[in-house]
Structure 1
Amino acid sequence: MHEDPSPGLGRPDDRRGSVLSSLLPESLSLPPLYLSTSPIAREILQHDIEDVSDESAIASSSESDSDAEVDPSADPSAEDVKLAFHPSGIVYGCGFSTIPLPGVDRPVPNPREIEESLRAEVELLRDNDILPPKHRHGSVVERVYHHIFSPEGSPGHETYVTLGGPAETTPLLMVDTEDEPQTPPPEDVHKLWEEAVAAHHLKTSWQRETKTLVLYALPLILTFVLHYSVTIGSVLTVGRLGMLELGAVNLATMTASITCYVPVQGLATCLDTLCSIAYGAKQPGLVGLQCQRMTILLWLLMAPIAVVWWFSEPILTALVPDGDIAHLAAVYLRILIIGMPGVAAFESGKRFVQSQGLFHITTISLALGAPLSFLQNYVFVFCWGWGFSGAAMAMAITQNLLPVLLVLYVWLFEGSECWNGLSRKALRNWGPMIRLALPGMVMVWCQFSVLEILTIAAGQFGPAKLAAQSILVTVTSTSFNIPFPLAIATSTRVANMIGAGLSDAAQLTAKVAVVAACVVGTINFSLYVGLRKQIARVFTPDEEVIAITSKVMLICACMQIVDSLAAVTHGILRGLGRQAIGSYANLLSYYLIALPVGLSTAFALGWELSGLWIGLTAGLAAVSAIELLYLCHADWEIAVAQAESIMRSEDATNAELKHH
C-alpha cells in the first residue's frame, strides 16, 4: 500500500493525530476472525511441503517453482495489483435460498482476478481522466458515454491529469492522434494508480458501479441457475406423477441437503483458503494434493451417512405423519446414495479449478450436465416407465457426471498443471485440515437447517401442503439465484475498493448494491404476484396444490424484497471483512424470530403453511434490518486499515511458503 497521506480515502496514515489513531496503530491487531485460520493453513501447507520435498511426485512442480521465483518486478501486475483483495465465502456453483456462505479466510488473488484488477484500474483511471478514454471523444455517443461514467468533479475530457513525472508512455498517451490511445504497460498503470490514490484524484460514479456489478453478477447467475436446474428438473418431473411424489421429493431433497450436501459444502470451504494460498505461493502440486485429501475425507464421512439414508424410512415416518410420503422419500434417498461420490468430487474439483482462476470450467461442466439431467428425467420417468425412482436415478447420475465433465475438461484443455497424480501423502496431515474445515461446516449447517425444520413442519399439515411447500422452496430458491450472485459481486467489488484504500468508492458501491437489491426484490415480487397460479401449474396439474401454492406465494412475494436485501447486505459485510456480523445476525434471526414466529403462527394460530412462510419472512426482515443498521454506523476507514494489515500478513505467509 502507498504510504503517502490520503485523508480523503481513508488510509491508515490519514488518522495519525486523530481520534482513531490510538485505535489503529501501525501494527494493527486484528480480531480472531481474520487470523485464527491463517496459522492452521500455514501449518497444513508447511507440513505438505516438507513431506513432498523429496518425492518425485512433486518434483515437476518444484522445478517450475524454481523457475517461477524470479524478481517480482518482472511481474508487476501480480505483485502490485490493488483491486484483487477478494472477500471470503465465494463459492461458485452452489447456492440455497437465504443461505450466504461465510467462508473461513480470504483467498489469494489468482491470475484471472489479477487480470480483472488491472482492467478495473484502467477503467477507473480513464473515468477520472488520468488516462485518455479508450476512444477519442469524436462522436456524440462517445461524449455521452464519457459524461455518464465520469465521476463528479473529474477534470473533464479535454484535460488529462498529469501525476508525477512523465513515464515511458506519457508522450504516446498525451499526443492527440487519430489512432486509438494504447493502454500503458501494467507497471505504468500501477504507478499512475498509486499516484492518483495519493493525490485523491480517484473517484467513481454510480453508473460505473452499476455496470461493474452487473458484469460481475451475470456469469454467476448463469452458473447458479445451471446448478440448481438439476433440482428443478427433478421437481418438475415428479410433479407430473402426483401430489405424494411432489411432497416426497421435497422431503428427500431437504433431508439429503441437511445431512450430506450442506456439510460437504461447508467442509470444502477450507479448500478456498488452502488451494488459493498454495497456488499463490507457487506450489501448484499442493493444490491437487489438498483436493485429493478433502475428497477422501468426504468419501469416508459419507459412509455412515449412506447407512442412515438406507434405513431412513422409520426416521422419516416418525417426522412426517403420512407413511406413503415417508416411504417414497426413503426410496429417493436410497437411490441418491449412488451420487454421493460425485457430490464430494465436484465440490473439491470446483475449488481445484477456481484457485487457478478457471471459473468458466465449472460453468461449462454445468452447461453440459444440466440439459443431460433434464433428458435423463424424461427418459427414465416417462419413456422407460421408472416413475419416481427414475427421477432419483437421473439426479444421482448427474451428480456423478458433473465431476467427470470437469476432470475431462482439465485433462484435455487447461488446469492440469496443478495435478501431479494420486499420492499417498493425501492420507496424512488430516488433523489441521479438519480443524480448519469444521467452523465453515457448522455455520453453514446451522443456517440451512432452518429450511429442513420448516419442511418437516409442513409435512404435519398433510400431503397437499407438503407438495405446495416443495413448489415454494423450489421457486424461492430459483429466484434467489439473482440476488445471491449480486451479493457475491458486491462483496468482491467492496473488498476490491477497501483493499485499494478507496473507502468512499466502497461506500458508493454499497449504496448502488442496496438499490439494486430493492429493484431485484421488487421485480421478483411483481412476478410472484402476477404469475402465482401459472408458476404453480408449471410444477403440478393438481388443483388443490395449485390453490394452496398461489395463496402462500403472496407471502413469498413479500419475502423477496427482504430476502434480496439480506443477501446483498451480507455481501457488503463480507467485503468489509465483517462476515461474522452477518452470520450471527442470520443465526439469531432464524432461531429467535423465524422459527418461533413461524411455528407459533402455523400451529397455535392455525395459519399452517402461510404461518411458516410468515415466520421466515419476519426472520429475513430482521436480518436485513440488523445488517443495514450496522452498515449505517460502520467505520469504513477501520476496514481499510485492517485490509492493509491482512494483506501484509498474507504476503509474509506466501513469502514464507515459497522459501520452503
Structure 2
Amino acid sequence: MDNSMEERLLSPEELNSSDLKRRVWNESKKLWVIAFPGMVARVSSFGMIVVTQLFMGHIGELDLAAFGLQQSILLRFVDGILIGMSSATETLCGQAYGAGHYHMMGVYLQRSWIIDGVTATILLPLFIFTTPILRLIGQEESIAIEAGKISLWFIPVLYYFVFSLTIQMYLQAQQKNKIVGWFSASSFLLHVLLSWLFVIKLGLGLAGAMAAFSISSWLLIIGEFVYIFGGWCPNTWKGFTKAAFADMLPLVKLSISSGVMICLELWYSSILVVLAGYMKNATIAISAFSICLNINGWEFMICLGFLGSSCVRISNELGRGNAKAAKFSIKVALGTSIIIGVIFWVLCMVFSREISYMFTSSDEIAESVSRLHVLLAFSMLLNSIYPVLTGVAVGAGVQSMVAFVNLGSYYAIGMPIGILLGYVAHFQVTGLWIGLLSGVGIQTLLLSYLTWRIDWNEQVNKASERLGRFFIETTEGSEESSNLA
C-alpha cells in the first residue's frame, strides 16, 4: 500500500464505524504478519531455557537453584545488553526498509555483528569466573560452585545470542520473519527431543541438558545463515563489505543507548534474584523466584512479538514519512496486546498450582510459587502494555529517553520497595515481587505519557536525517526501489 492510500485510510474525514473497522482490520493484518512469527521465534527461543530448567528441576534441587541463579542473573544480564544493542539494528533496518534503502540493511546487520561480537567477548570473563563472582556477592557456596559449572556451558549460547538477535531483527524489518519462526519452532522441538534423550534416556544429567541447549541453538543459527547467504534475501544482502567497518561511531552510540534501555529493565529482576539468595532458605527462595520469572518471561516473549511488530510498523511508516499511520498502528497494537494479557491473567489465576509442578517435584518449592500467583498474574497483565510502548520508542529511535524512565521506575522506586517489604517487613519473596510489580507499574504509566507526548511529524524528520547520515550509495541506484515493490 503506497503513501497516498495510507493517508486516505487515516484521514480525519473517515470517522464512521465501517471505515474504522476496515482500518483496524487492515492494520491488524499488518501487525500479525510481523507479530505472530516473532512470537513463535521468541517463545521458542525462551522456551529452550524454560525446557532446560524443567529438566534441571528433575535432576535435583541444587541443580535447579544453580541454573535459576545462573540464568536469572548472568544470562539475563548479558542477554539484556545484547538484546538492547541489537534493537539498534531493528530501528535502522526498519526505517531503511520503509525508505527503500534496501542494500543498507545488510550493512547494518554486519555492523551489528561486529559491535555485538566485540561486546560478547568483553563479557566472556563473567562466564569463566562465575563461582568467585557469586562468592564475592555472598551467595551460598554450594550454589556458587554448581552455577560455575553451568556457566561454562553457556559460553556457546553467548555467541548464539549475537547472531540470533540481530538476524531476527534484520529479517523481521523486511517482513521475512516467517522463516525465523519456522527455524525457531524446529529448534525448540529438537531441543525437547535432545533434552529427553540426553537427560532421561541416557542419564547424562547437567551435561546432557546443557549440551542439548547448545546444539539446538546453533543449528538454528546455521539454518538462518543458509537462508541469508543462499540468496533468499537478494535485495538486502549484497555480501560482506568493508563498508560495515565505516562510520561505526553513530551506530555504537545508538546501540549503547538501546542496550542501556533494555538492560535497566532485565537487570532489575536479576538483582531481585540475587536478593532472594540472601533469604533464610536460599535454595527454595531462588528456585521459586526464578520459576515465577520464567513463567512471566515466557508470556513476556509473546508480548515481545508486539514489541517487534509495533517497532517495525512504526519505523517503516516513519521511513516512508507517514506519521498518521505510525500513530494508528500504536493504538491497534496496544489494544490487541492488552486482550492477550487479560487471557493470561485469567489462566494464571486459575491454574497457578498446576503450573508450578511442571517445574519441580518439590512440594515446598511448588507451594512457594503458588503463593505468588496473584502478583504473577498482574505482572502478566502489565506485560501486555509496556513492551508495546517500548517498541514504539525503538521504532522512533528514542531509546535514551526510555533508559531514564527505566532507571527511575525500577531503581529509584521498585527496588527500594522490594527491599523494604522483603527484608524489613519480612514478606520475603512476596515483598520482592511487590517491588518488581511497583516498578513495572510506574514504568508503564511513564511510557504511556512519553508516547502521548511524542511529536510524530518531528520523528519523521529525524528518521529521514538518521537514514541520510548512514546512507552509502549502491551501484544499483534508483533500481533498488522497484526491487521490492
Match of 1:323 among 141, 144, 147: 141
Taking the aligned partners of 1:511 and 1:351, their CA distance within structure 2 comes to 22
Given that 2:34 and 2:175 are in contact with CA atoms closer than 8 Å, whether structure 1 keeps it comes out as no
Taking the aligned partners of 2:259 and 2:57, their CA distance within structure 1 comes to 32
- One-letter code of the match for 1:82? N
Q: Percent identity?
A: 23
Taking the aligned partners of 1:204 and 1:232, their CA distance within structure 2 comes to 39
Q: Deviations over 1:56-115 (max 9, x none)?
A: xxxxxxxxxxxxxxxxxxxxx7xxx329xxxxxxxxxxxxxxxxxxxxxxxxxxxxxxxx
- One-letter code of the match for 2:386? A
Q: For residue 527 of structure 1, report the CA deviation from its aligned partner.
A: 1.0
Match of 1:608 among 428, 437, 442: 428
Deviates more, 1:337-346 or 1:231-240: 337-346
Which residue in the other structure is 1:591 paired with?
Answer: 411
Which residue in the other structure is 1:243 paired with?
Answer: 61
1:642 aligns with 2:458: yes
Match of 2:214 among 370, 377, 396: 396
**CA shift in 2, pair 1:582/1:550, >3 Å:** same
Taking the aligned partners of 1:410 and 1:501, their CA distance within structure 2 comes to 30
Q: Deviations over 1:387-445 (max 9, x none)?
A: 12222222222332221111122344612565565567766765554344322223322
Which residue in the other structure is 1:528 paired with?
Answer: 348
Q: For residue 351 of structure 1, report the CA deviation from its aligned partner.
A: 4.6
**CA shift in 2, pair 1:262/1:506, >3 Å:** closer
1:437 aligns with 2:255: yes
**CA shift in 2, pair 1:290/1:481, >3 Å:** closer
Taking the aligned partners of 1:293 and 1:627, their CA distance within structure 2 comes to 29
The count of corresponding residues between Structure 1 and Structure 2 is 472
Q: For residue 531 of structure 1, report the CA deviation from its aligned partner.
A: 0.4
Given that 2:260 and 2:403 are in contact with CA atoms closer than 8 Å, whether structure 1 keeps it comes out as no
1:229 aligns with 2:47: yes
Given that 2:349 and 2:373 are in contact with CA atoms closer than 8 Å, whether structure 1 keeps it comes out as yes
What does residue range 547-562 of structure 1 map to in structure 2 within 5 Å?
Answer: 547-562=367-382
Q: Deviations over 1:616-646 (max 9, x none)?
A: 1111111222333455xx467x42x314424
Taking the aligned partners of 1:434 and 1:578, their CA distance within structure 2 comes to 15
Q: Deviations over 1:463-510 (max 9, x none)?
A: 01111112101100111123332344445556677866574x766655
What does residue range 172-183 of structure 1 map to in structure 2 within 5 Å?
Answer: none
Taking the aligned partners of 2:113 and 2:314, their CA distance within structure 1 comes to 32
SS at match of 2:223: helix
Given that 1:599 and 1:612 are in contact with CA atoms closer than 8 Å, whether structure 2 keeps it comes out as yes
Match of 2:283 among 463, 479, 486: 463
Taking the aligned partners of 1:502 and 1:417, their CA distance within structure 2 comes to 26
1:152 aligns with 2:16: yes
Taking the aligned partners of 1:570 and 1:222, their CA distance within structure 2 comes to 20
Match of 2:265 among 426, 430, 447: 447
Deviates more, 1:217-226 or 1:417-426: 417-426
1:82 aligns with 2:3: yes
Which residue in the other structure is 1:384 paired with?
Answer: 202
Which residue in the other structure is 2:130 paired with?
Answer: 312
**CA shift in 2, pair 1:202/1:645, >3 Å:** farther
Which residue in the other structure is 2:305 paired with?
Answer: 485
Taking the aligned partners of 1:541 and 1:275, their CA distance within structure 2 comes to 46
**CA shift in 2, pair 1:568/1:411, >3 Å:** closer
Taking the aligned partners of 1:432 and 1:588, their CA distance within structure 2 comes to 26
Given that 2:82 and 2:259 are in contact with CA atoms closer than 8 Å, whether structure 1 keeps it comes out as yes
Which residue in the other structure is 1:337 paired with?
Answer: 155
Taking the aligned partners of 2:393 and 2:116, their CA distance within structure 1 comes to 30
**CA shift in 2, pair 1:501/1:443, >3 Å:** closer
Q: For residue 303 of structure 1, report the CA deviation from its aligned partner.
A: 3.8
What does residue range 354-433 of structure 1 map to in structure 2 within 5 Å?
Answer: 354=172, 356-412=174-230, 414-415=232-233, 431=249, 433=251
**CA shift in 2, pair 1:646/1:610, >3 Å:** same
Q: For residue 296 of structure 1, report the CA deviation from its aligned partner.
A: 4.4
SS at match of 2:269: helix
1:350 aligns with 2:168: yes
**CA shift in 2, pair 1:646/1:301, >3 Å:** closer
SS at match of 1:385: coil
SS at match of 1:539: coil
**CA shift in 2, pair 1:507/1:364, >3 Å:** closer
Higher relative CO (Cα under 8 Å, sequence separation at least 6) belongs to 2
SS at match of 2:154: helix
Normalising by structure 2, what TM-score?
A: 0.83
**CA shift in 2, pair 1:293/1:625, >3 Å:** closer
Match of 2:437 among 617, 630, 639: 617
- One-letter code of the match for 2:196? Y
Which residue in the other structure is 1:12 paired with?
Answer: none
Taking the aligned partners of 1:563 and 1:426, their CA distance within structure 2 comes to 36
Q: Deviations over 1:302-350 (max 9, x none)?
A: 4453333222212113335322221111111012223333332333433
- One-letter code of the match for 1:252? Q
Q: For residue 534 of structure 1, report the CA deviation from its aligned partner.
A: 0.3
Given that 2:63 and 2:146 are in contact with CA atoms closer than 8 Å, whether structure 1 keeps it comes out as yes
Given that 1:282 and 1:658 are in contact with CA atoms closer than 8 Å, whether structure 2 keeps it comes out as no
SS at match of 1:321: coil
Greater helix fraction, Structure 1 or Structure 2: 2
- One-letter code of the match for 1:396? S
Taking the aligned partners of 2:102 and 2:269, their CA distance within structure 1 comes to 40
Match of 1:295 among 88, 107, 113: 113
**CA shift in 2, pair 1:336/1:572, >3 Å:** closer
Taking the aligned partners of 1:316 and 1:565, their CA distance within structure 2 comes to 34
SS at match of 1:525: helix
Q: RMSD in angstroms over aligned alpha carbons? A: 3.8
Given that 2:187 and 2:219 are in contact with CA atoms closer than 8 Å, whether structure 1 keeps it comes out as yes
Given that 1:242 and 1:542 are in contact with CA atoms closer than 8 Å, whether structure 2 keeps it comes out as no
Gaps of 5+ in 1: 1-76, 84-117, 131-149, 155-200
